[in-house]
Structures are given as structure tokens and as C-alpha cells.
Structure 1
Amino acid sequence: MIGDALFRNRREAGRRLAEALAHLGGEDPLVLALPRGGVPVGFEVATALAAPLDVLLVRKIGMPGHEELAIGAVVEGADPQLVLNEALIEFARLPPGYVEEAQERQLAEIERRRRLYQGTEPALPVLGRTVIVVDDGIATGATVKAALRGIRLGRPRRLVLAVPLAPQDTLEALAGECDEIACLASPEPFHAVGLHYEDFGQTGDAEVVRLLRQARAARPGSRAAGAPLAADARRT
């Protein structure tokens, strides 16, 4: 850790973030958290705003031979969206069918993860909703940008990005992707997100499942959340 930490842990960061989002409480918002670290933050936001909580699953499509370089991403939802970096795709000269095959693989992985986290619960629709996308912090913003673009295609009424901390230049780059940004801190110089938390331990799948189940049980009209954890989650 360097200097003084800004947040004790993700739950405390989420409670503070919820205070900055209190003005949205009357809009019946939907909170979408990026797993895994964004879920404890999003849980606190959703609890404070009496809002439903869901995960937002995003899978990168990498360039052949350079998988760390994203040429696009698949963003889940009631109608999954493919977000592409057209400039990179033109430069890459991809083999025929590459994007389509990669999309199918990532959609299968998204489905696997949704079954792990939410069982048979479908993704909550965003059409006409105020949607708050939550993560535990942003560095480069590439994944969040894809997530916001994918959600925007689902036609929410209002799209809000909410994070405890992010670099100022990254926030400026993301400003055009949403209607509002709530960010508690932009430390300078900006180091790795985890260095600004006292406790930034890994969020396990079992914790994600537990928090989503707890949030789901609090929703009026939802099925009782009493089913056992998925086997994969129990092993974490």
C-alpha cells in the first residue's frame, strides 16, 4: 500500500458511493455490477437505493496472436450485444469468420458464468430503466467502455457509471459513453486500484452468489433464494 488508503474495503466504498447516488433513488434504478469485485460495491448501492442488483458480464474478443489486445467485446443482457473496435479490425485483417466464432465462444462463457452466479434467473432488462453500472475502480476503462456501449444499445432511459475511484483522464474518455458519472476520488498520481483500499482481497464466486441471492430475495415477487450454491461456486 502507498500513502493513505481511500477506502477500508469494497463494502465501505459501496456505502459511500450510494450516498453520491441518493438522487437516483426515486427513479427505480437497476444496478448492474461488473463481477467479481464490483459486486460487493454494487450490493451496497442497490441496498441503499432499494434497487434490484444484477451482474453485467463482459467478455473480451482478442486479436489473433495478441489476445490481450481487444478488438471487441460481447456484453450480455436480455439481448446480448457485440461491440467492435472497427479501426483495429480493419488493421488486423482477420481471417473470415473469426469474429463470429469468437463471439459464440464468449457467449457460451457468459452463459456458463450466469448459470454459476444466478442459476436460471435471466438477465434483468434495461429498456426504459435508469441503469447504474458499478465497478470497484477503473484503470484504463476499456472493459467499462464496452459495457456502457453494450448497455446503451439496450435503450435505457438513463445510463450512469458509478465507481469509487478512477483516473481523471479515464473519466473524461468515458464521459461520452453515459449520461452521468459518479466517482468519489481521482488520486494523482493514480496507481493500481487495489492500492487505494486497505483490504482489496479477491472476491470469490461464492461471495458473488451469496450477495446476488441476498439482493434477489429482497426483490418483491422474486422466487425464494434457497437453492444450494452451484458446484463451481462452492469450490472457490
Structure 2
Amino acid sequence: MRFHDRRHAGEDLALRLMEWAADGDLVNPLVLALPRGGVPVAAPIARALRAPLDVLVARKIGVPGRPETGIGAIVGDDPPLYDRQALEMLGLSEDRLGADVARERTELHRRERRYRGDRPVPRVTDRTVILVDDGLATGVTARAALRHLRRQDPARLILAVPVCAPATGDLMRSETDDLVCLQEPRDFFAVGQYYDKFDQVDDEEVTGILRSLSATA
């Protein structure tokens, strides 16, 4: 199964979530997207559920020299969450990654200001929160985001993604109340291989979507 683009993937996820909404299982929903790629996936979900949409900005901490390989992540001002096994295998320490964390924290706050502007951070407590991304490889960024949200006492915490690595899906089920993943292929290599169109999402696309579907507190 392939998705034409992120919007197509979001529409398929929305159909799955609408089944829960019809049963009354999604009370006072809030859709939060992991930017940038999760935002165009989340938009059809927010529209279908008639729910507000906002972003939860998280930043991946990559392996030195291989930034695309995530071994940790940060959300807000929370301490970094690391894949401890990966750190040990690579012989890395948290101290060695300190400069990378500081750089990513600066970028995180820049994106929060760019995407949210003067809008307040939406209330999470006692709501059904649906966290959306365009797919999960290692899942370390989503895991950091889920733990950040869990500390705010949502009534229900759902992670919705079009595709994920099977081992990552197993891990996420212990971090969330429900995982909605449309496919977990055994031959998973990278998220982009399951999309016909997987272009980079830019800040302008993110802010445009959020202007039309912004969250209220």
C-alpha cells in the first residue's frame, strides 16, 4: 500500500478515526501534528473530526556526522530523551551531544514562534489528544512528544501515523493509549518509500494550514 502524498495519507487515517468518533470514543478531541511533515497529514483528520489543529514541535538529535539517524529528541524545555541502547552501541555520551542539543533547542523555539505566533498553547488536560506524524522509523521523536503530553494528563492519548516500522509500532503501544497505524510492513526501510510524493514541507505550508485550522485553548 502506497500513499500518493501526505494529504492522501491523512484522509485514510481520518476514515479510521471517524469510526471511533461515530461510536462516541473521541471526546473533546485536539489534533496535534509533529512538524513539519505531520502537519499536512493532520489537516484532513482535524477537518473530518471538526477538531482544532495545532503543532507540537519536537526536534530529533542525530548521530554526529549522520544527522538523519535519530538517537534522541527534545520537546519544549524537557530534558532530551535518548535511545540508550543506541548511545551505548555508538560509544556516545550525553555530554558529547550537548552542543547538538543546544542547537536543536534553538531551532525548536524558532519554529514554535513561527508556527504559533501569538496563539496560546492549546489545553491538553482532560482532552482526547491525537498526535500525528507522516510515519515512524525509530520513533524517538514521537516517543518524546508522547511523554511530554502524558505529563499534562490528557483523557486519552492517541498516536496516528500512516506507516511505521513494526518494532517501532510495538514500542509505541507502550507509550500511548491507542496506536492507529495503517500499515507496519516487514520490509520497512524508510518512511518516504511508502509515498509517491514525499517532498520537503516548508514553513510556509505549515503556517498556511495552521491559519485555516488553528487550535483554541
Fold shared by both chains (TM-score > 0.5): yes
Change (3 A) 1:188 1:102: closer
CA contact under 8 A between 1:31 and 1:133: conserved in structure 2? yes
Distance 1:134 1:52 in 2: 13
Distance 1:154 1:73 in 2: 18
Change (3 A) 1:170 1:86: closer
1:166-199 CA distances to partner (integer Å, 9 max, x unpaired)?
A: 1222100111000000011122311321121111
Distance 1:43 1:86 in 2: 30
Please name the residue that 1:6 is paired with. Answer: 2
Change (3 A) 1:195 1:72: closer
Please name the residue that 1:74 is paired with. Answer: 74
Return the offset for 1:82: 2.6
Distance 1:197 1:86 in 2: 27
Distance 1:85 1:74 in 2: 9
CA-based RMSD: 2.8
Residue 116 of structure 2 corresponds to residue 141 of structure 1: no
Please name the residue that 2:107 is paired with. Answer: 109
Amino acid at match of 2:3: F
Return the offset for 1:83: 4.3
Normalising to structure 1: TM-score of the pair? 0.76
Q: Name the count of aligned residue pairs.
A: 208
Distance 1:86 1:200 in 2: 26
Return the offset for 1:32: 0.8
1:207-229 CA distances to partner (integer Å, 9 max, x unpaired)?
A: 1110000102xx6x79xxxxxxx
Return the offset for 1:50: 0.7
CA contact under 8 A between 1:72 and 1:82: conserved in structure 2? no
Residue 52 of structure 2 corresponds to residue 49 of structure 1: no
5+ residue gaps in structure 2? none
Identity value in percent: 44
- Counterpart among 183, 204, 217 of residue 206 in structure 1: 204
Change (3 A) 1:200 1:208: same
CA contact under 8 A between 1:61 and 1:67: conserved in structure 2? no
5+ residue gaps in structure 1? 223-236
Please name the residue that 1:84 is paired with. Answer: 81
Return the offset for 1:204: 1.5
User: Where do 1:1-236 residues align within 5 Å?
Assistant: 6-22=2-18, 23-24=20-21, 26-61=26-61, 68=67, 72-76=72-76, 80-85=77-82, 87=84, 92=93, 94=95, 106-216=104-214
Change (3 A) 1:29 1:54: same
Distance 2:137 2:8 in 1: 20
**Aligned-partner SS, 2:74:** strand
Normalising to structure 2: TM-score of the pair? 0.82
Q: In terms of Rg, which structure is larger? A: 1
